[in-house]
Amino acid sequence: MLTRHSLTLAGMLAIVLCLTAGGAGAGMLSTTDWVPTPGGLYQGDNTVSFPMVGVVVMNVQLVPSTGAASYAPPAPGSTVIGDSFFDIFADVSLDGGATFGPMAASGPATVRITGTGLVGGIRSFDTEMLQLNISGGTLPGGVMLRESPTLASLGGHSITQVSGGNYTIDSFFDIYTELSVDSGNTWMPAIGLQGPSYMHVVMTPEPATMTLLGLGSLVALIRRRRGA
């Protein structure tokens, strides 16, 4: 069982994993149509819970790491499977939601994107998060978070070209997540009122500086540890 003491010993943790579900949001303006969209982040708008160990995760942000790969979107009828790397931030409770603290980590992700159509200048895509493995950073020892290997974490993506050679990007994922507190030996799913629950994340513009989110020092910390 995780304890507040174990979190304090590990430092501040940032698992930003609330990948929004239910549909695309208002979108963001970008100078490129590549994915993941440079300058954007996935913002979670729901809460996921792991009641067996009293862990609750909210306010998730999934930010493409500096230098992470982006790739051109596929043509209609074609599929691309791409690997990338994300820094992850969230507010996490270890006492069943009574109190929360900021936490941070990072990890690789694999996404499948399939072109489904071009209508009225809008390119549409079906997406699936095939893999997301979060560990290290400021997470307590033995704590890991992953995308479910048995439930499909589906999403959608659309690209609209606008004036000035820019693009409006709408993108979301519903990510089914699992938590391990024993270094990956056993896993437990996020649970809602009707069974396994997902993290819903929607693409939004990244602030001009991560300091606006109070995450600057956490970003530097997890990137230093990753490069060690």
pLDDT of residue 219: 47
Q: Is 165 helix (H, G, I), strand (E, B) or coil?
A: helix
pLDDT of residue 207: 63
Phi, psi of 120 (to 5 degrees): 60, 35
The answer to whether the CB of 141 falls within 8 A of the CB of 10 is: yes
160 vs 16, more confident? 160
Report the range of poorest mean pLDDT among 145-159, 165-179, 198-212.
Answer: 198-212
**Domain assignment of residue 103, given as a range:** 4-226
Report pLDDT digits (tens) over 75-130.
999 999 999 999 999 999 989 999 998 989 999 999 999 999 999 999 999 999 99
Average pLDDT in the 55-64 region? 91
Average pLDDT in the 40-65 region? 90
Buried b (16+ CB within 10 A) or exposed e, 151-184: eebbbbbbbbeeeeeebbbbbbbbbbbbbbbeee
Count of domains forming the chain? 1
Q: Give 77: exposed, middle or buried? Use CB within 10 Å, 0-12, 13-18, 19+.
A: exposed
Best CA proximity match to 147, nearest among 185, 167, 175: 175
Tokens, residue 163: 């004036």
The answer to whether the CB of 84 falls within 8 A of the CB of 109 is: yes
DSSP string, 20-63: --SS--S-EEES---BS-TTEEEEE-S-EEETTTTEEEEEEEEE
Residues forming a β-bridge with 165: none
- Cα angle, residue 89 at apex, residues 83 and 91 outer, rounded to 5°: 145
pLDDT above 60 (res 4): no
Residues forming a β-bridge with 81: 112
pLDDT of residue 23: 42
- Range of 8-17, 74-83, 91-100, 214-223 with top mean pLDDT: 74-83
